[in-house]
Chain A
């Protein structure tokens, strides 16, 4: 299941907004059993580790680390945010 994060806004920065996004994803986008949850950053202008950390933490807690995947992105804020979150995720 692919989740287009741009639907939550082109600028994704605060923890508060990240928490809300995570709750909305969990409520309205239910993957089939064992299905991979793919986060798609296409059309996102900027994302910060606070927002992304909240979303990843909530989805990993719900579906497990192996089922939550961030799709590749050339957006440098995505790359740097994932770098800083590596320790938190692993």
Chain B
């Protein structure tokens, strides 16, 4: 019965976002004392985290990132300008923003993982520019945002470009759908920029993610979706809460800290 209550609490927080105890009491129809017993246990187990201080305490799922700003930016029908703090409008800005990732070792990223993290972010971010120059829907650039939740490091990269199908299908006539395009991009050595010899960046990203049990990645472009790694489904569920289809491309990676 108590396990059932905890499952219901988890479901509510997952569906509705961070909740106040009063909201949970109302939703569950149990006493405040009973709820607090469950919440205490769930915090101890690492399922929930406490946000804020009384009387505005909220309970949120532990280890779940919130990229709602990125998703809103990506989902807007039209945009005239970018937020400067998170969007790299040029490749130079993206490159400059890779260097501060070094500080993540202070938050628990292992020094051995740092080169892999920086290079994978660089590969994904540079793809936005390689495949969308002159093809942006409106504003140019690549959203790049890092969040740390508990022992997890999340990196979201997105662009309002032509999408993977738009890029690959022009030179690879066998690619007929968003799903085929995104799978091809991550798994086969082809590029949308033939005859240039390209197409290994996302394979490198996939291999890097699969190189450790505590990593994951998910990517949506158009209606195509892929996810890799043991934590890939966590990334996919974060993305799928917002998107069924994406105009452009959005990628979410997660790495273990500590």
Measured CB to CB, the closest approach of chain A to B100, in angstroms, equals 11
What is the interface residue range for chain B against chain A?
A: 20 to 34
Stretch of B13-21, B35-43, B178-186, B202-210 with 4 or more beta carbons under 8 angstroms from chain A: B202-210
Given contacts A11-B122, A80-B204, A87-B189, 18 further A-B contacts (CB under 8 A): A11-B95, A11-B98, A13-B118, A14-B95, A15-B198, A17-B95, A46-B118, A46-B119, A47-B119, A48-B119, A49-B201, A50-B123, A50-B201, A53-B198, A77-B118, A80-B207, A80-B211, A88-B200
Beta-carbon contact of B207 and A13 below 8 Å: no
Q: Can you spell out 28 A-B residue pairs with CB atoms less than 8 angstroms apart?
A: A10-B99, A11-B98, A11-B99, A11-B122, A13-B95, A13-B122, A14-B91, A14-B122, A15-B130, A45-B114, A46-B118, A48-B122, A48-B123, A48-B204, A49-B200, A49-B204, A50-B122, A50-B200, A53-B197, A53-B200, A76-B116, A77-B118, A80-B204, A80-B207, A81-B204, A83-B207, A84-B200, A88-B197
A84 touches B198 (CB 8 A): no
Within 8 A of A (CB), among B75-101: 91, 95, 98-99
**A46 near B115 (CB under 8 angstroms)?**
yes
Of the listed residues B122, B130, B189, B211, the one surrounded by the most CB atoms of chain A closer than 10 A to its CB is: B122
Q: What is the chain A residue whose CB lies nearest that of B208?
A: A80
Residues of A within 8 Å of B, CB-based: how many?
A: 26
CB atoms of B98 and A13 under 8 A apart: yes
Bound complex: CA A49 to CA B199 (Å)? 10
B72 at the interface (CB under 8 A from A): no
Chain B interface main SS type? helix
- From A14, A17, A77, A87, give the contact of B115 (CB < 8 A): A77
Rounded to whole Å, the gap between the CB of B104 and the closest CB of chain A is 12
Interface residues in B95-154 by Cβ distance below 8 A to A read: 95, 98-99, 102, 112-116, 118-120, 122-123, 126, 129-130
Q: Hey, what's the 0/1 contact readout for A32-57 against B, CB within 8 Å counting as 1?
A: 00000000000001111110010001
The answer to whether B126 touches A15 (Cβ under 8 A) is yes
CB of A25 closer than 8 Å to a CB of B = no
